[in-house]
Amino acid sequence: MADASIEVVGVEELPLVVDLYNRIFRPARALESFQRRFLGRNNALRLVARVDGQPVGFFLGFELKPDTFFAWFYGVLPECRRMSVGSLLMEAAQTWAAQQGYEAIRLECHNLHRPMMHLAIDLGYDVVGLRWDADRAANLVLFEKALVAVGG
């Protein structure tokens, strides 16, 4: 297990998150595409995971509906996987969402991202459906987890 720190970051750190995204995923995305996606979204959450002070992972999410928080993008650099960084990011997001009063957290995962699917199942998420992703011509598996109010 990595000695990772998870921190909530502001919108000024979005370029760092985009850099991490582009080091993890293809095709690359521009900062502007992330900025557009957050327009009009309530309760945007940006988390950065650091190991030895270096950014190694991120989480982005926002309100999907008044009782459900959506885990939009999340990732860990390949060289830092299997060190519990992904679990720490997801647990931090779940705790934050519960503290904000959300009843559930939802995420989507491409079928080919098996490690993320395993992580979701290990963290207690249930498969609640499938959605066709026309951009990638592939199915997305929909996961959801009920949140327990934290500190209440």
Number of domains in the chain: 1
Mean pLDDT (whole number) for 79-92: 92
Question: Residue 47 sits in which domain range?
Answer: 4-146
Within a domain: residue 130? yes
Q: Does residue 152 lie in a domain region?
A: no
End-to-end CA distance of the chain: 30
Q: Do the domain assignments include residue 65?
A: yes
Tell me, yes or no, whether 151 lies in a domain: no
Task: Provide the 10 A C-beta neighbour count for residue 41.
Answer: 14
Domain CATH for 8: 3.40.630.30
- Domain assignment present for residue 49? The answer is yes
Residue 127 lies in a domain: yes
| Residue 150 binned pLDDT confidence (cut-offs 50, 70, 90) | low
Structure tokens at 119: 């992580």
Q: What is the pLDDT of residues 23-64, one digit of tens each?
A: 998 889 999 999 999 898 999 999 999 999 999 999 999 999
Would you say 37 and 73 are in contact if contact means Cβ atoms under 8 Å apart? no
Assigned token pair, 14: 């979005």
Please give the Cα distance from 56 to 81 (Å, whole number). 9
Asked whether residue 17 is domain-assigned, the answer is yes
Residue 137 lies in a domain: yes
**Residue-wise pLDDT tens digits, 86-123:** 999 999 999 999 999 999 999 999 888 888 899 999 99
Task: Give the closest residue to 48 by CA, choosing from 28, 71, 27, 20.
Answer: 20
